[in-house]
Structure 1
Amino acid sequence: MSEDPTQRGRQRWVQAVGSSPVASLTITKLAWVAEHEPANAERIAAICLPHDWLSWRIAGHGPQSSQPPAGVGLDALCTDRSDASGTGYFDSTTNSYRRDLLAHALPAHISQEAVLPRVLGPYEVAATADPAIAGADVPGGCIIAPGGGDNAMAALGLSMQVGDVSISLGTSGVAAAVSPVPAFDMSAAVTGFADATGHWLPLACTLNGSRILDAGRAALGVDYDGLAQLASQSTPGAAGVTLIPYFDGERTPNRPDAHAQLEGMTLANTQREHLARAFVEGLLCSQRDCLELLKQLGTDIKRVLLVGGGAKSEAVRAYAPSILGIDIELPRIDEYVAIGAARQAAWALSDRAEPPSWPVDIETTLTAPPTPEVYEQYVRWRG
């Protein structure tokens, strides 16, 4: 364990709940409120996430006027394991809250007395909707499923199994793996979330995703097809040019003040086709970093699925299997978070121990000879 007190504290937090208290977790936001708006912190009666609040309101709870009667149903708040695991004070291995950790963010009496949502099982019914809000014409009423975080719902929508990894290329880049055991990354690069099935979803996220391609298009004055055409005129490794694509800082690795760098340029290789190739390879190498982090945690990667807007790029499709070092399955472009929510609803209605089998339309499997030298070149410049 690290000798640095700050790093040692982060590692102890990871051991407790699976994730380091980074800015995206609920607990760090609560700490900000306590520090900057102490009067509001003192007024906290319950702590929940947006989807918890929405389910609670649809079930008919909450204030009915500007002067609500005493008791608005706070004890009816509920959540799911995936969103609870993103709070920074929930232990997904025991399915229990850590109020002792919450006390580091809020005044002691608030951390002990505030209502925290009941954590539901993967297909447990949360409540029945208030018919004045939803489901008035549904016999027996409209039930409310547990819900979940976006990445957990996407994994459910993709019907991911243990050994599957999804790489989602949107504004950010996310590599998420379904694991039968919790993940504890002492480097704090991988967050140990729970999934929506009772397993876990260790996840590595980059701030810079498909925007890297947008930056390449802007720099070279081409559209996506033009970027792919230019890149195809280069060779693996872009003739020695490497892009470290940390345009707005980076989360994985944790370099918040970093900027993008073009390395290895010479008079001989500073050409448009090599620059185009470097942009595409930079994006894919940053996702290879995420895969390597998952592997270091013991994740058994049997299958990789590529989704998100960036997966539409012909250049990404052409070079992903060779740079990531594995064949890539390309599901049909679709709204897999929404599909996951629908699959969860069907599961809650079935009341069976396993989710219903929903086939995923795999558009194609991308294959290419591996080019390990590209990632090795990237790692040398990344440091």
Structure 2
Amino acid sequence: MSSEKVLVAGVDTSTQSCKVRVSDAATGALVRMGVAKHPDGTSVNPQAWWDAYQEAVAQIGGLDDVAALSVGGQQHGMVLLDDHGRVIRDALLWNDTRSAEQAEKLIVELGEEALATEGKADEAPADSDTNTPADPDAVHARGIREWVHAVGTSLIASITITKVRWVAENEPENARRIAAICLPHDWLTWRIAGYGPQASAEEGLKALSHLTTDRSDASGTGYFDPATNQYRRDLLAKALLGTVDAQKVILPEVISPAGIAGTADPAQAGKNVEGGCVLGAGGGDNAMASFGLSMGAGDVSISLGTSGVAAAVSPTPAYDDTGAVNGFADASGQFLPLACTINASRITNAGCQMLGTSFDEFAELAFQAQPGAQGVTLVPFFDGERTPNRPTASARLEGMNLANTTRENIARAFVEALLCTQRDCLEDVRALGVPVRRLLLIGGGARSAAVRKLGPSILGMEVSVPHTDEYVAIGAARQAAWALATSSDPKAQAPAWPVEIDEVYPATDVEVGEKVYRQYVSHRG
């Protein structure tokens, strides 16, 4: 029997770059890795993703020896394709906010429909005023509830369906050309499988029928219900406004977590592997990161990048009628309740800039101050906020006087504010009855000594810090290994790849941290 390693590849097509990580299928050990940048901006021609993928693959000498591959990608990005398989317009990414108005419209429309239906059921007296408009706040709240129970999450500008509505309203000529709608990871998987634009509509539609996705990424579109694993074309129709028939639009086939999406074009991967390179279902970046961390029920990751994400693995769907927690699916067949802040590492970045320090110097200043920073509190909504929902808010320092306005207290207030925003997310997730037994701290912001050491006190529990690594790419590679295993054994389990924990910080000074958090809450409102 051959002793050669079986290799698998995980692709992370993120907002900033494309990473291609080749791993040992048995152990997850890194074999080689390539990285290529994506262009800046909130709308991007998908061709840039393809070019970056090719560049990253070239850096590592190709993927001819890879037996399986999966793609993890930025969620929510809208890719529109015509009947030839051509990209209709630049993809609108998750961070493109132009469809905020459309999100509100869709919420209100569903709220009005629900209340109107109830009104018909409770037939009004003949002399009553049936034309009295419903209270706008009640309509909005009901709309959020209807969306949450229909697709697991309420609508904000990030969600794909709002972007579809924006195109239907503002670019109807483009909307009328829509033959298929997919997401960034769907499109890249499709291209790696050898599909792309065709010379005729007949061949184009045939190629589009091979589009695939997974539960995790589909659950972020706003027109897929992760609890039933069904598309909601009735909701998609509300976004398309009759420009095209929602029943005829091609949506990617939803592949199970360990399912096989096809085989890679030998020119892309697996040329030297018998049977070719198996393609896994792929997934959204947050789900892939949790899969790369081998998270299970009761595990919660807090990822501190530009934004902050608290993601929990749960065996059952979570429905938050306030809309604060997104009820996404994960990459293992379970669910991924997720709360997100717009501001995370940018908080400490702003503090370093304000005080003119390095990150290490900033942490040392924070350690020299007392918990609560002698009453100085930062409300860190620099670009508005999503959790809590404060889209037009700005940041502010409160509680300052001549005695407590010191560099040390300001640094401490910035670090505490960052952690308190993530405590907000954690509390929202916990309020839904989601078990929280282990907390993993990842992302660039986790490199701060102040964040790591003060985290357990404010977050209220022990914090584990995994070794810094590319967990989206690792999760994609692990899924690829799983798909490869199921190709010969349908009952195969996901490989148990070890996750290296660098440090574990015990839950100390929790009562002190609780006071700091309550001080923060009193100021942020």
- TM-score, length-scaled by structure 1: 0.97
The answer for the alignment partner of 2:521 in structure 1 is 379
The answer for the alignment partner of 1:369 in structure 2 is 509
Residue 222, structure 1, aligned to residue 357, structure 2 = yes
* Contact 1:61–1:72 (CA under 8 A) maintained in structure 2: no
Percent same amino acid among aligned pairs? 62
The answer for the alignment partner of 2:179 in structure 1 is 45
Query: C-alpha separation between the residues in 2 aligned to 1:243 and 1:174?
Result: 20
**1:299-347 superposed Cα distances (whole Å, 9 cap, x missing partner):** 1100000000010001101100000000001101111111101110111
> Residue 180 of structure 2: SS of its match in structure 1?
coil
Q: Which residue of the other structure, out of 417, 422, 433, is the alignment partner of 1:282?
A: 417
Query: C-alpha separation between the residues in 1 aligned to 2:140 and 2:270?
Result: 51
* Contact 2:165–2:241 (CA under 8 A) maintained in structure 1: no
Amino acid aligned to 1:210? S
Within a 5 Å distance, the mapping from 1:52-71 to structure 2 comes to 52-65=186-199, 69=203, 71=205
Query: C-alpha separation between the residues in 2 aligned to 1:123 and 1:62?
Result: 25
> Residue 116 of structure 1: SS of its match in structure 2?
coil
Amino acid aligned to 2:342? L
Bigger mean CA deviation after superposition, 55-64 or 188-197: 55-64
Cα pair distance change 1:336/1:69, threshold 3 Å: closer
Q: CA RMSD in A?
A: 1.5
Query: C-alpha separation between the residues in 2 aligned to 1:353 and 1:237?
Result: 51
Structure 1 residue 69: Cα displacement: 4.4
Structure 1 residue 181: Cα displacement: 0.5
Query: C-alpha separation between the residues in 1 aligned to 2:501 and 2:297?
Result: 18
Query: C-alpha separation between the residues in 2 aligned to 1:196 and 1:83?
Result: 9
The answer for the alignment partner of 2:158 in structure 1 is 24
Query: C-alpha separation between the residues in 1 aligned to 2:238 and 2:251?
Result: 16
Structure 1 residue 133: Cα displacement: 3.0
**1:100-141 superposed Cα distances (whole Å, 9 cap, x missing partner):** 111110034421210111100001000011223332211101
Within a 5 Å distance, the mapping from 1:117-266 to structure 2 comes to 117-266=252-401
* Contact 1:154–1:336 (CA under 8 A) maintained in structure 2: yes
**1:181-231 superposed Cα distances (whole Å, 9 cap, x missing partner):** 111111101111000000000100000011100110011111111111111
Query: C-alpha separation between the residues in 2 aligned to 1:229 and 1:63?
Result: 56
Structure 1 residue 27: Cα displacement: 0.3
Give the paired residue count: 383
Query: C-alpha separation between the residues in 2 aligned to 1:94 and 1:39?
Result: 33
Within a 5 Å distance, the mapping from 1:270-349 to structure 2 comes to 270-349=405-484
**1:86-111 superposed Cα distances (whole Å, 9 cap, x missing partner):** 00010111110001111110034421
Query: C-alpha separation between the residues in 1 aligned to 2:249 and 2:440?
Result: 40
* Unaligned residue ranges in structure 1 (runs of 5+): none
Bigger mean CA deviation after superposition, 49-58 or 371-380: 49-58
Residue 354, structure 1, aligned to residue 496, structure 2 = no
The answer for the alignment partner of 1:268 in structure 2 is 403
Query: C-alpha separation between the residues in 2 aligned to 1:315 and 1:321?
Result: 11
> Residue 389 of structure 2: SS of its match in structure 1?
coil
> Is the radius of gyration larger for structure 1 or structure 2?
2
> Residue 181 of structure 2: SS of its match in structure 1?
coil
Amino acid aligned to 1:382? R
* Contact 1:44–1:110 (CA under 8 A) maintained in structure 2: no
After the TM superposition, which segments of 4 or more aligned residues of structure 1 sit over 3 Å from their partners?
Answer: 64-72
Query: C-alpha separation between the residues in 1 aligned to 2:226 and 2:408?
Result: 48
- TM-score, length-scaled by structure 2: 0.71
